[in-house]
Structure 1
Amino acid sequence: MITALLHPQLMDCRRLFLRNYEVMINIGVHEFEKKGEQRVLLNVDLFIPLALSTPQHDRLSEVVDYDFIRETIARRMAEGHVHLQETLCDDIARSMLDHPQVRAVRVSTMKPDVYPDCEGVGVEVFRMKDGI
């Protein structure tokens, strides 16, 4: 995964990120998981070409707003129960790439309350737009 971040097409990008965004979501394949929400930590990195994200007039309209990341996650959560973290990561990544300024995305999810003897279990995915 780290080598993907060294891809030549990302060298002229700015990285926007959301770290350890804690949400309560209906997720899991087990019956007991389908009866309530679980705590999930989300991390998102957006890679945006500097040419599309370097403000000339110090205005929000010149960059990708952080609200876009949170709103995209909220829309996916509103779709209802998801069985797998892999599905959640893929869905969020796909939606992030729909933004015209986003060249690549990295999304990770972690369920911190699954096992008492570790920090958490999770999934990470990295995607670039086709043709890049």
Structure 2
Amino acid sequence: MTDLATTSQPLEWDSITLAGLRCSAHIGCKPEERRLPQALLLTITIYLDTRPAANSDDLAQTVNYSHLSKAVIELVSQSQCQLIETLAAQVAEKCLTDYPPCQAVRVQINKPAGLPNAEGAILSIFRQRTTGKS
């Protein structure tokens, strides 16, 4: 498992954002919530240094956001989590583990059916690589 920190985001980092990624998952604490897949909207911001890719014009030097979006949709659709907190942590871990240029990630999950009188229940987490263990 990747060492993660929850410190604030460095302002100097470049970022790539996948906004409003439509996914569905059997998620929720109640059996009736898990009966059918629920729509989720994910916004994922990857923090990285884009200079190597900009200087080389080489996709291998950055995060391929098309590949990332497919990987996240697959992870979410196969998830058996009850909580969006667990799912967000799994998405963050995937980003940091599978995409080496990614130094930090913010994952926001909107569960539109989460509250009957609201546009959704939204969770946002931030994780970054750590340089060593404490």
TM range (shorter): 0.7 to 0.9
What are the equivalent positions in structure 2 for 1:43-122 lying under 5 Å apart? 43-56=43-56, 58-98=57-97, 99-122=99-122
Distance in 1 (CA, whole Å) between partners of 2:63 and 2:29 is: 34
Give 1:4's aligned residue.
8
Cα deviation, residue 78, structure 1? 4.5
Partner-residue secondary structure (3-state), 1:74: helix
Deviations 1:59-104 (A, max 9, x none): 4334221123213313322433210000000000011011211110
Give 2:123's aligned residue.
123
Asked if 2 retains the 8 angstrom alpha-carbon contact of 1:14 and 1:53, the reply is: no
Distance in 2 (CA, whole Å) between partners of 1:79 and 1:41 is: 16
Cα deviation, residue 17, structure 1? 0.5
Do the aligned partners of residues 100 and 123 (structure 1) sit closer, same or farther apart at CA in structure 2, a change above 3 Å counting?
same
Distance in 1 (CA, whole Å) between partners of 2:88 and 2:54 is: 28
Q: Percent identity?
A: 25
Deviations 1:103-126 (A, max 9, x none): 100001011123232111021110
Which one is further off, 21-30 or 65-74? 65-74
Give 2:16's aligned residue.
16
Partner-residue secondary structure (3-state), 2:33: helix
- Higher RCO, Cα 8 Å, sep 6+: 2
Distance in 2 (CA, whole Å) between partners of 1:52 and 1:102 is: 13
- TM-score, normalization: structure 1? 0.83
Q: Which amino acid aligns with 1:111?
A: K
Distance in 1 (CA, whole Å) between partners of 2:31 and 2:16 is: 37
Asked if 2 retains the 8 angstrom alpha-carbon contact of 1:55 and 1:62, the reply is: no
Do the aligned partners of residues 104 and 70 (structure 1) sit closer, same or farther apart at CA in structure 2, a change above 3 Å counting?
same
Provide the aligned C-alpha RMSD in A. Answer: 2.0
